[in-house]
């Protein structure tokens, strides 16, 4: 079973240019998703949650965010299955509004490494827990 899961996870790695979906493929993808993605490029701090207790914090930006996960740009790609904690600072949309911080814990489920476009490398996290809070 574990070998099958590894094969499935490996299938999510993308090393070539993105494939343009057909109109039908795009519609199927839209309806298959459980959460709406918002194309927000906001500051992100992510921490790997290692078993050995040695944490590493990296600052970068998001590509998109949903309640169920996020995509983060980085050249420092973690391994598939890595547990992550993401902290994203959302922009104020109205003057005087309280800023929000989105905290997400989850697992790396996909890596993207478009050839010749290292600035587009990154990973997708599937969230197990998502919390909005005000900054401390």
Reported as a single tens digit per residue, the pLDDT across 57-69 is 899 999 999 889 9
Query: Residues of the chain whose pLDDT is less than 70?
Result: 1-34, 50, 53
- Output the pLDDT for position 53: 67
CATH 2.40.10.220 matches 2-133: yes
Q: pTM (2 decimals)?
A: 0.70
Distance of CA 115 to CAs 9, 21, 112, Å?
20, 19, 9
- Output the pLDDT for position 95: 80
Q: Please, what's the b/e burial string for 45-58 (b: 16 or more CB within 10 A of its CB; e: otherwise)?
A: ebebeeeeeeeeee
Backbone angles phi, psi at 29, to 5 degrees: -60, -40
- Output the pLDDT for position 92: 79
- Output the pLDDT for position 49: 74
Contact (CB, 8 A) for 60 and 46: yes
Could you give the 3-state DSSP secondary structure of residue 85?
strand
């Amino acid at each position: 079973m574990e070998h099958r899961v590894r094969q499935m996870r490996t299938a999510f790695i993308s090393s070539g240019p993105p494939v343009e979906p057909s109109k039908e493929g795009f519609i199927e993808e839209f309806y298959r998703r459980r959460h709406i993605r918002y194309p927000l490029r906001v500051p992100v701090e992510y921490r790997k949650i290692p078993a050995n207790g040695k944490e590493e914090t990296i600052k970068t930006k998001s590509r998109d965010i949903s309640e169920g996960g996020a995509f983060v740009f980085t050249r420092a790609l973690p391994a598939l299955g890595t547990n992550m904690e993401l902290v994203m600072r959302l922009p104020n949309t109205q003057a005087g509004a309280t800023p929000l911080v989105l905290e997400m814990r989850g697992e790396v489920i996909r890596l993207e490494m478009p050839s010749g476009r290292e600035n587009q490398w990154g990973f997708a996290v599937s969230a197990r827990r998502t919390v909005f809070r005000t900054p401390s």
